[in-house]
């Protein structure tokens, strides 16, 4: 970082407060210019910003940006579309207010992506809603979360599942870096899931490493990573901050999982579970500071 741009004679003459403000600006601009690194969080709905201290606003981007800055959160992924498995309609979408929230996050140096839950029944609607959200918030990347609908146990034929995955990946990789998240144990444990079309052109594999019983050994985690890496060379896991995870469990899991993954980023599921617990938020911030991956 070249500080000459920020620590001008005028700033230095302004004293300590001016110097600290200039250094904060330098750090923020460097973060905005760099690639994705460090810790992020998934956001199911922006209504959850009302859970933050000092606000009751359901779309408080300023409060969310401050929370991110205070707690080592470098990027946020906003849920843009959730296709209902029964109706094929979208259960979730980003409201117009999301554009301002995204701008306030970026102003604080927090990167913004979107994520969605696809289903073969609603391919066209999924692409439409995700495209609208991508443009609305100026997202830098797209993350897909295909799960049961793309598994052999679901209601669709393999041909339908492959066609759906391939069409979604062809669309999204053409407009943005694209990540894929799904079952934490990977292809070897879920052979009927259509992994290959979801891997085509993917930037990062984002395994969901939710060790609810806190009993995954380092050997087991390494086997999961090996399985994922057969199709996704770079892994950036999603860890759990749900109510059943104590802060110490979060710390232990990070120490077991993140060195194995080796990717530039990791994230937490999800913002809601952190926002309702100052203890889990503090643990996540500690982990984020410890594992500034890729920085």
Condensed to tens digits (0 to 9), the pLDDT of residues 130-180 reads 999 999 999 999 999 999 999 987 789 999 999 999 999 999 999 999 999
Condensed to tens digits (0 to 9), the pLDDT of residues 246-259 reads 999 999 999 999 99
Single out the residue of 179, 147, 184 nearest to residue 164, CA to CA: 147
Burial 78-115 (b: 16+ CB within 10 A, else e): bbbbbbebeeeebebbbeeebbebbebbbebbbbbbbb
pLDDT at residue number 61: 95
* pLDDT range class, residue 11, cuts 50, 70, 90: low
Name, in order, each residue with C-beta under 8 angstroms of 184's C-beta and a sequence gap of 6 or more.
Answer: 207, 208, 209, 210, 224, 237
pLDDT at residue number 27: 44
* Averaged pLDDT of the chain: 89
* pTM of the entire predicted model: 0.86
Q: What is the number of alpha carbons within 13 Å of residue 119 lying toward its C-beta?
A: 18
* pLDDT range class, residue 55, cuts 50, 70, 90: confident
Fold entry, domain 35-290: TIM Barrel (3.20.20)
* pLDDT range class, residue 52, cuts 50, 70, 90: very high
């Amino acid at each position: 970082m070249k500080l000459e741009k920020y620590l001008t004679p005028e700033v230095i003459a302004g004293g300590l407060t001016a110097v600290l403000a200039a250094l904060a600006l330098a750090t923020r601009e460097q973060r905005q210019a760099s690639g994705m690194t460090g810790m992020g969080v998934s956001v199911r709905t922006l209504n959850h910003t009302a859970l933050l201290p000092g606000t009751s606003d359901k779309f408080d981007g300023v409060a969310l940006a401050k929370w991110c800055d205070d707690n080592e959160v470098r990027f946020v992924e906003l849920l843009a579309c959730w296709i209902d498995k029964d109706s094929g309609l979208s259960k979730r979408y980003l409201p117009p207010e999301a554009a301002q929230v995204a701008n306030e996050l970026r102003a604080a140096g927090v990167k913004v992506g979107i994520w969605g839950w696809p289903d073969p029944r609603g391919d066209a609607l999924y692409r439409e809603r995700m495209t609208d959200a991508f443009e609305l918030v100026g997202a830098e990347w797209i993350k897909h979360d295909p799960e049961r609908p793309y598994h052999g146990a679901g209601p669709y034929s393999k041909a339908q599942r492959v066609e759906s995955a391939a069409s979604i990946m062809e669309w999204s990789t053409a407009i943005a870096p694209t990540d894929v998240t799904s079952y934490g144990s990977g292809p070897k444990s879920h052979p009927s899931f259509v992994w290959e079309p979801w891997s085509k052109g993917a930037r990062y594999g984002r395994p969901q490493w939710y060790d609810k019983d806190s009993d995954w050994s380092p050997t087991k985690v390494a086997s999961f990573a090996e399985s994922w890496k057969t199709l996704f060379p770079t892994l950036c896991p999603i860890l759990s901050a749900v109510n059943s995870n104590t802060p110490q469990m979060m710390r232990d899991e990070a120490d077991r999982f993140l060195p194995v993954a080796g990717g530039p980023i990791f994230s937490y599921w999800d913002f809601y579970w952190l926002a309702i617990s100052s203890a889990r938020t503090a643990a996540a911030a500690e982990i984020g500071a410890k594992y500034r991956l890729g920085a």
